[in-house]
Amino acid sequence: MTQQPQTLQEAIQYFSDEQRCIDYLVALRWPAGVACPTCGSTEVHYLTNQKRWQCKSKHARRQFSIKVGTVMEDSPLSLTKWLPAIWLLANCKNGISSYELHRALKVTQKTAWFMLHRIRYAMQDQAPAQLGGEVEADETFIGGKARFMHKSVKARKITGTGGAGKTAVVGLLERGQGTRKSRVQATVIPNTQRTTLHQEVQQRVEPGSEVHTDEYSGYRGLEDADIHEVINHAEEYVRDHVTTNRIENFWALLKRTTKGSYVSVEPFHLRRYLDDQVFRFNARGGRDADRFVYVASALADKRLTYQELIGNMDLDAYPA
């Protein structure tokens, strides 16, 4: 790789050539040389006219392109559209809507929506390391405000108070130390009962860590495995070093994105938008080029079909 774009303008110019896009992704995916995605053999021959390779071994799917085995597989769109789309989603602070991408790339809105969800899948950290040290935990509810809903929609969705009709999300934030910035993990949960919240904390936080929460009863009992500090928001928001302000700041960023850029997010797809926001929060200290390279390097060994996306197939390929 002889050049690395540093800005959106440079990225659009650099990735305007299909062969250059292929060479760029090859250097990221196969730094030791192109290997057949089916058998792993490195004895492959490049077919220049077809912009694909052919494996020397005789087996099914001998010919393959750079898209095979990635979230871009079976996409008819050129890499000159895919790579700028990755740059935009990875670096737009409040996300980018499918309508905005459809206008920018001159693709249909449905195509742009599918592209963005596949890129979010690449952003997902499928094996996040446990959090430690001082960890803030909090839950929130994502959904539309009743006062903005049509009467018929409100009657259907709003059946109670508080989080009724909304999707519950739990987040945990590990505070940074020194030059290391804080990092967050967030996931959709079926409810905010004590068993559910304790399971998430135990799974994502190292035993013996100091966990800070508000006074919600669902967190009671965490002191059995961790140091549990509670802040009563009816009286104060900070007591010495005890606070949940940082994780609540993350909720503010998430809700600003969902309401401002995406406007309406279906509960079924919310976990993918969480991947999007978690990635940008955890990578906020790097440069635009660094975030782009990270996502471009994570495209391989992942697949999200349209039928999986809309829920017509088993979603085991996209773990929660």
pLDDT, one tens digit per residue, over 76-98 is 999 999 999 999 999 999 999 99
pLDDT level of residue 320 (50, 70, 90 thresholds): very low
What does the angle CA 51 – CA 53 – CA 59 come to, to the nearest 5 degrees? 140
pLDDT, one tens digit per residue, over 212-239 is 999 999 999 998 878 999 999 999 999 9
Q: What is the pLDDT of residue 225?
A: 75
Q: What is the pLDDT of residue 238?
A: 94
In this structure, what is the dihedral angle of CA atoms 263, 142, 270, 220, given to the nearest 10 degrees?
Answer: 160
pLDDT level of residue 318 (50, 70, 90 thresholds): very low
pLDDT, one tens digit per residue, over 10-69 is 999 999 999 999 999 999 999 999 999 999 999 999 999 999 999 999 999 999 999 999
Counting residues of the chain whose pLDDT is more than 70, the rounded percentage is 90
Q: What is the pLDDT of residue 317?
A: 45
Q: What is the pLDDT of residue 159?
A: 57
Q: What is the pLDDT of residue 166?
A: 87
Q: What is the pLDDT of residue 214?
A: 95
CA distances from 261 to 54, 148, 166, 180, 284 (A): 42, 17, 19, 29, 19
Strands 167-174 and 134-142, sheet pairing: antiparallel
Show the tokens assigned to 282: 């955890």
Counting residues of the chain whose pLDDT is more than 90, the rounded percentage is 80
Q: Kindly report the average pLDDT of the chain as a whole number.
A: 90
pLDDT, one tens digit per residue, over 129-150 is 999 999 999 999 997 555 445 5
Which fold does the domain 134-269 belong to in CATH?
Answer: Nucleotidyltransferase; domain 5 (3.30.420)
Nearest Cα to 77, choosing from 120, 119, 121, 107? Answer: 107
Show the tokens assigned to 7: 């800005």
Where are the domains positioned within the chain?
8-126+298-317, 134-269
Show the tokens assigned to 304: 């999200």
Nearest Cα to 275, choosing from 99, 118, 72? Answer: 118
